[in-house]
Amino acid sequence: MVKRKVKKSDKESGSKKAPQASAMPKVEKAAPKSFKHWLGVFGDKALLALEGAKGLLKKPAYLATFLIASFAFAYVFTFFKDGTMNWSLVFSGLDFSEKLKILGQVVPEIFTGLVSLYGISIFAMSLLQGLCIALMVYAWKNRERDSAIDGASTGGIGALLGFIALGCPSCGVTFITPILTAIAGTGAMALTESVSQIFTILAFVLLIYTVIQLGYVDFVIMSAKKYEEKHE
């Protein structure tokens, strides 16, 4: 009797058909994101970053930070635009009044240089650097230190490239030419000019990217603060 029950149960269990693989629901793989999608996401992030930057510059302390930092970068770029000549004169045996005159004449040159593409590039890069500094300080003060450090790293590379390409072109030539001479021989000078232009473009790209990243972080911080104020 026991054996017959066991067989019967075996038969019943065997009669149940296992679900076929074809009957299982198919899981469709997610389609890879297109370049257009990523471009749209980046565009939305850039708009929010712009709102963050606008909100930040409405705060007097950070507006002052932006203006002072921008002026400082513009001054340094303009001071070294003719190489190390001004530096050598300031630390030469000239009278103190003459040294002050050399330091003072840099300020009007910042604005008189705006008639040329070179001067406009220096001014624009200085504004981007100043904005990076202001955004970075706000993120740091609001405990977003990782974002601030990342921004400092990327912005620092942009500042260095900008200084080599615009702030002190002769410094860049002095640094780059020996390397290119070893690679390209007599065509080094022509390549040096091209590399300087590439450095300028890369500097702008890195600075704009840093502004977008930090501006977005600051926008999120400001939005969170507004939400907390409303629901207190």
Residue 128 CA to residue 116 CA, distance in Å, equals 19
Q: What is the DSSP string of the chain?
A: -HHHHHHHHHHHHHHSPPPPGGGSPP-PPPPPPPHHHHHHHHHHHHHHHHHHHHHHHTSHHHHHHHHHHHHHHHHHHHHTTTTTHHHHHHTSS--HHHHHHHHHTHHHHHHHGGGSHHHHHHHHHHHHHHHHHHHHHHHHHTT-HHHHHHHHHHHHHHHHHHIIIII-HHHHHHHHHHHHHHHHGGGHHHHHHHHHHHHHHHHHHHHHHHHHHHHHHHHHHHHHHHHHHHT-
Residue appearing with tokens 């624009």: 124
Residue 73: both structure tokens together: 């970068």
Amino acid at 36: K
Among residues 135, 191, 137, 200, which one has the least CA distance to residue 165? 200
Given pLDDT bands bounded at 50, 70 and 90, which one contains residue 231? confident
Over residues 60-119, the pLDDT tens digits come to 999 999 999 999 999 988 888 777 788 888 888 888 888 899 899 989 988 888 888 888
Give the mean model confidence (pLDDT) for residues 128-155. Answer: 84
Residue type, 146: D
| Res 28: pLDDT | 54
pTM for the structure as a whole = 0.71
Give the mean pLDDT of 215-219.
Answer: 91
pLDDT, one tens digit per residue, over 155-198 is: 777 777 777 766 555 555 545 555 555 555 555 555 556 667 77
Residue with tokens 């207190």: 232
pLDDT for residue 181:
54
**Each residue's pLDDT tens digit, 22-63:** 555 555 555 566 777 787 888 888 999 999 999 999 999 999
Is residue 148 predicted with pLDDT exceeding 70? yes
Integer CA distances (angstroms), 65 to 19, 131, 141, 168, 208, in order:
69, 8, 13, 24, 18
Residues with Cβ within 8 Å of 37's Cβ and at least 6 positions away in sequence, in order, are none
HSE on the CB side for 47, CA within 13 Å? 5
